[in-house]
Amino acid sequence: MEFGPILYSFRRCPYAIRARMALWAAGITVELREVKLAAKPPALIAASAKATVPVLVLADGTVIDKSLDIMRWALTQNDPEGWLHGEDAALIAANDRPFKHHLDRAKYPGRYADDDGSDHRAAALALLIPLEEQLTAAPWLCGPTRAFTDIALFPFIRQFAAIDPAWFAAQHLPHLQAWLDLHLASPLFAAVMQKYAPWRDGDPPLCFGRLP
């Protein structure tokens, strides 16, 4: 039984999380192939030279291997919540570049020579202040309902908060913390975070998405 496009994913990867959230919200069913990053399957490497998740392979062979492009493709097919009307390119760029840089070094200080994790944690925190200020006007980053920008940023802020939950809870970020809690408690997030065994060639297709 085939379910449509093939999605190579890794459960905890923030890029893959936001891609899965968009696909699920769009009501697009895919064949999910969970990847063990330490043993990437040859099919993933053959599909995309970058060989990192997420990678979406469409039925016609088209490969989409950037998470934001997967989100846009899914929502172009079907956007029931109007997410595409809430894409703030500047906020997403700040998240994907400087914030991600500091997040990695705060979370894994031992991986980077001469990097102090606490310095990067402080730098990442400073980048969250504009989000806190923006959320004083509305519960979501682009207005009264969640949209593209919220989903694009959420998995990374979730990852940052999880480094030291008690420390994050003690920061004066009440609006951002409430925003994060809304995401964490959402049925959408629960749906896309189910655990699956790593895919191996020859496994039966695994359906991911809301079946009609």
CATH number of the domain bearing residue 76? 3.40.30.10
Q: Are residues 117 and 173 in the same domain?
A: yes
Total domains present in the chain: 2
CATH number, domain of 116, equals: 1.20.1050.10
Q: Identify whether residues 28 and 124 lie together within a single domain.
A: no
Q: Domain check: are 204 and 158 in the same one? A: no
pLDDT of amino acid 169: 98
Identify whether residues 141 and 198 lie together within a single domain: no
Q: Has residue 49 been placed in a domain?
A: yes
Label residue 109 by pLDDT band (50, 70, 90).
confident
Distance CA 156, CA 166 (A): 17
- For residue 107, the one-letter residue type is K
Residues with Cβ within 8 Å of residue 185, at least 6 apart in sequence: none
102 and 39, same structural domain?
A: no
Q: 């997403």: which residue's tokens?
A: 92
- Helix extents (H) in the chain: 14-25, 42-47, 67-77, 89-94, 100-107, 117-134, 148-163, 165-170, 174-184, 187-192
Judgement on whether residues 55 and 127 belong to the same structural domain of the protein = no
Give the pLDDT confidence score for residue 193 in this predicted structure: 98
Beta bridge pairs of residue 7: 32, 56
205 pLDDT band, cuts 50/70/90, is very high
Domain limits for position 28: 6-82+190-208
What's the pLDDT band for 56 if we cut at 50, 70, 90? very high
In a domain, 1, yes or no: no
Helices and strands per DSSP (H, E), number in the chain: 10, 5
